[in-house]
Each structure stands twice: as C-alpha cells, then as structure tokens.
Amino acid sequence: MNNDIREAAEWVRHSERLLVFTGAGISAESGIPTFRDDDGFWREFPPERFATWDGLFKTALHQPRAFAEFVHAVIAPIAAAEPNAAHRAIADAERHVDVTVVTQNIDRLHWEAGTTTTHEVHGSMFEIVDRRRRFRRYVSRQQLRRVATAIERASRGLLTLPRVMWAVRRIAGIGVRGIHFPNLVLFGDALAEPAWSASRRAAEQVDCVIQVGCSGMVYPAATLPEIARAQGATVIDVDPHSGQGDIWLRGTATQIVPELMNTAFAPR
C-alpha cells in the first residue's frame, strides 16, 4: 500500500467530523462523463451556448436539434447510472465517523448509495421547479430514462421545437403552473440554498476533508476545502490528474476511496 494512503487514513481515522466534497470525477466510473476532461463535453457543447439559461433558451429556439442533443447527452448517462464503490464506501463511513457530503453533482448517486446528509450545491437533475422555485416535484431515474428515450425517438424525424418540447415535457416546459425545469445551478447562478450555507457551516466545523474528483476550477464551490483548511482541517485530494490538498492520492475514485476508508476504519 502506498504511504500516502496510510498517512491519509490516519487523518481520516482520527477525525471527529469528516467532510467529503465531490465533483464530476466521483461519478465517472458510474458512466457519467466529466465536463472538463479530455473527452471534453464542453468542446462539443460550448458553455456560452449550453451552460447558461439564456444560452440554452436561445439554442432551443434557434437550434432545437442541438438543444435536444445536449439534453440527451446530460440525462442519458445519469438515467443509466448506479452508485459505484466510492459512493458506497463514503456512505459506509457513517458507521465510524460523523460525515457530511457536499456534492457538485446533480446525479443523486450519494443519496442512492445511502449517505444520510448530502448537500447538492449545484442542484439536482431529479428536482423539477417553477421559476420562483416555490413548487417542487421529483422525477425518478426511470422517468429520466423515458425522457432520454423520447428524445431518441423524436431525433429520428425532423426535429422541430414543438417536438423537442414534447419529448422533454416531464422535466421542462410550460404547464398549468407556468414554466418548469430541473433545479440546476448554471454559470452565473448563485449556488443552491439552503445547501450552500449548510455546506459552509459544515466546512468550518470539520477536521478533515476528502475531496474526490473535483478540478478545483468550479467557483465558488471550490472555496469549500479552503474554508475548512483555514480552520485547521487537513485536505486529502483523490483525483487521477491533479491535487491541491495537503495530501494528493493519485488515482480514480473507485481505486482510492474504498481502500482509504478500509485502511482508516479497519479494526486494530
């Protein structure tokens, strides 16, 4: 076993409160691609057209096929995903230590793995809201799968805006309560509340942070480990490509996280 894992495991083992902060990388091995990595989601779907509500609205209006391809590319992998060994190891750690999970992901995989407290600071693909976010309803993974299938069917013919809107009507469109759409944080939006305030409070109280699959480039979420570090917490990074923490465990989420938790909580 690598010495860094041993050292990191000691910090985890002796922590009273643990913050696990996750980004797209933790779900890569559940089949959901990250946006920033080489296979570059952003290259195919440039953020200025696809990562703001205004850009998305204009794309839907003028290029319904591109809009449909984007929605499909986002939801189809999420609809098919299951928690992986890293999500499960984090949920299991609750048997040993007080764990708060803060995720930038919208895929609900921490909940499904059994984590009790997950703050979703970038919202959720499964929560449908109205414009003022007063009305909320939830869709299941199976319903997301149906939307993905409806888009695939519609894409076989001439893809007009009404056809796209019909295909995605379960998650976005205009209904009796006005417009509805997934509760997501896009570029330029404030982070989801009360999740972000609760995450900041948690960061101030933990003695150890495990950061998994985060590029550290998505702000303001990326400030969270720094908030914890300023209070004296040790930051452990799990990522195959980069690490900014006190200890960088270089590898994928499923290679590292289960081993880290097993080492930390093995009976002695």
The residue with tokens 């096929």 is 65
Q: Please state the closest distance from residue 95 (CB atom) to ligand NAD, in A.
A: 23
CB of 154 or CB of 195, closer to ligand NAD: 195
CB of 173 or CB of 240, closer to ligand NAD: 240
Q: Both tokens of residue 202?
A: 């948690």
Q: Please state the closest distance from residue 166 (CB atom) to ligand NAD, in A.
A: 26
| Residue sitting closest to ligand NAD (CB) | 25
CB of 85 or CB of 165, closer to ligand NAD: 85
Which spans of this chain sit near ligand NAD (rule: CB under 6 A)? 23-25, 27-29, 32, 34-37, 104-107, 122, 213-215, 217-218, 238-242, 252-253
Catalytic residue, candidates 72, 87, 122, 180:
122
Cα distances (Å, whole numbers) of residue 172 to 32, 178, 184? 21, 11, 12
CB of 207 or CB of 239, closer to ligand NAD: 239
Q: Please state the closest distance from residue 209 (CB atom) to ligand NAD, in A.
A: 15
Asked if 49 contacts 137 with a C-beta cutoff of 8 angstroms, the reply is: no
Is residue 147 classed exposed, middle or buried when 0-12, 13-18 and 19+ CB atoms within 10 A define those classes?
Answer: buried
Asked if 213 contacts 236 with a C-beta cutoff of 8 angstroms, the reply is: no
Q: Please state the closest distance from residue 120 (CB atom) to ligand NAD, in A.
A: 9
Catalytic annotation present for 96: no
**Long-range Cβ contacts of 223-229 (<8 Å, 24+ apart):** 224/19, 224/21, 224/102, 224/199, 224/200, 225/21, 227/200, 227/203, 228/19, 228/203, 228/204
Q: Which residues are catalytic?
A: 122
